[in-house]
A = this chain, B = another copy of it.
Amino acid sequence: MRRNLARLRDRMQALGVTLRPHLKTCKSWDVAQLMLPTPAGPATVSTLKEAEVFAAHGVRDLIYAVGIAPQKLDRVAALRAQGADLAVILDSPEQAEALAARSRALGAPLPALIEIDSDGHRAGVAPANRELLLALARSLAAAHNLRGVLTHAGASYGARTSAELERYAEQERAAAVQAAQAVRAAGHPCPVVSVGSTPTAHFARALDGVTEVRAGVYVFFDLMMANLGVCSLDDIAISVLATVIGHQPAKGWTLTDAGWMALSRDPGDGAYAYGQVCDLALQPIPDLLVTEMSQEHGVLRLRKGSTAPAPQLEVGARVRILPNHACATAAQFDRYYAVDGSLEVTAEWPRFSGF
């Protein structure tokens, strides 16, 4: 985990941009402290609950990077009144108007970034929709609410080659920078140009015009990131400790007590079924995957067509399972058991859930 954190920190320093870690993966102050450039931030969050928890720990510079709904502005305003510089994001005139109205009522601006849809993946203003972009910029600037532009290359998770990841990174950069330039050309301020996803953060060759990069899952990485080539299996810093509870020898099944309640139902990209099985020393057991799950059962089987030796795992044996998606698997637990290099537990790090 520390190596993962240092790697992206160094990379961002070399590219001359601020790293604004996304705390949605860890949802833990113990982990966040290791991720954040300073105890006050900057940080990204995906829920107001995260904003509230981390603000209570002293994080001051926060972006809530999911489109704001008007009825959530009470909680935003409350956090700002307590001293957190929490900014929101939006992509519609209705949201900008709600923000302006609330700002007027409060007598204080509620800063927002305009979300840009750099890859057709999810939310945001399409780069071609200059009319909407400038209408939002005008509306926010009039209320002194315009903080900048933000985009997330979520589609990069579907890339297959390094070259594709580099293209996603450049597409993400260009969309954000061009939006910022258009906003500035119309006479509005646009101090923040925020981009990011773990894959693009690791493959961007240049970030000219970008002021900050957001990434979250890089703290732990996972099988999806390994399969994308963003990390190696050895970089994956999170696993689920499971116990063998039985066998179905005729079918080559080893059963464990780690079903989807432990691993999540995240299907990843399919390359490792529901997880890669490792021995207790975290060495992957060749071709041994979690192939089926129910709530509290996992089935371990050799990958189809594998010629690897059948695993010899007796009832009571323990294995460590690398997950498809760290965000989803971590969310199944209320704490991390932090281990040192010898895999001894050195601390319990609580994590929170909720919205």
Most buried by B among A246, A247, A334: A246
Most buried by B among A24, A95, A314, A331: A331
- Determine the chain B residues whose CB is within 8 A of the CB of A108 once the complex forms: none
Q: Given B92, B246, B328, B354, which contacts A315 in the complex, CB threshold below 8 Å?
A: B92
- Determine the chain B residues whose CB is within 8 A of the CB of A95 once the complex forms: 246, 315
In the bound complex, what is the Cα–Cα distance between A71 and B333 (angstroms)? 21
Stretch at the interface among A139-147, A166-174, A175-183, A263-271: A263-271
Q: How many copies does the complex hold?
A: 2
Q: Within 8 Å of chain B (Cβ to Cβ): is A245?
A: yes
- Determine the chain B residues whose CB is within 8 A of the CB of A354 once the complex forms: 333-334
Q: Within 8 Å of chain B (Cβ to Cβ): is A243?
A: yes
Stretch at the interface among A198-206, A221-229, A254-262, A281-289: A254-262
Tell me the smallest distance from the CB of A291 to a CB of chain B, in Å: 12
In the bound complex, what is the Cα–Cα distance between A254 and B341 (angstroms)? 46
In the bound complex, what is the Cα–Cα distance between A288 and B296 (angstroms)? 32
Cβ A246 vs Cβ B123 within 8 A: yes
A interface list, Cβ under 8 A from B? 24, 46-47, 66-72, 90-92, 94-95, 98, 117, 122-123, 126, 154, 243-248, 250, 255, 257, 260-262, 264-267, 294-297, 299, 314-316, 327-328, 331-334, 353-355
